[in-house]
Amino acid sequence: MKAKSLIAVSILALALASCTTGISSANLEPIPGSITYNGQPRTKLTKSPIGSTFTHNFRRWNGDRVIETYQIQPDRSIKIIDRRIIRDWLTFGRDD
């Protein structure tokens, strides 16, 4: 019985660890790795239509994968409109 419980707990832990956290807000603050972390990029996206979106993927210090969605504003700056964090199940729970 103990082995079956251990397997069930392991499967549940893997399922929870692979969950994503979506954060959608009008005022998301840049985090290290964000395109706008140190301010707006020097180059402007002049050929992309205003209101169009694109994604940027990067890893955080703890191994989590981050997917940010940016939108091109009327002044050609970019704004983070969505952030998804995908927990890396191999490093889940590590604090180093």
67 versus 9: which is more confidently predicted? 67
- Place 16 in a pLDDT band, splitting at 50, 70 and 90: very low
Residue 92 clears pLDDT 60, i.e. is over it: no
Please write the tens of the pLDDT for every residue from 24-82.
455 899 999 999 999 999 888 888 999 999 999 999 988 899 999 999 999 999 999 99
Q: What string of DSSP letters covers 21-77?
A: EEE--TTPPP-TTSTTTTSS-SS---SSPTT-EEEEEEE-TTS-EEEEEEEE-TTS-
Mean pLDDT of 7-17: 52
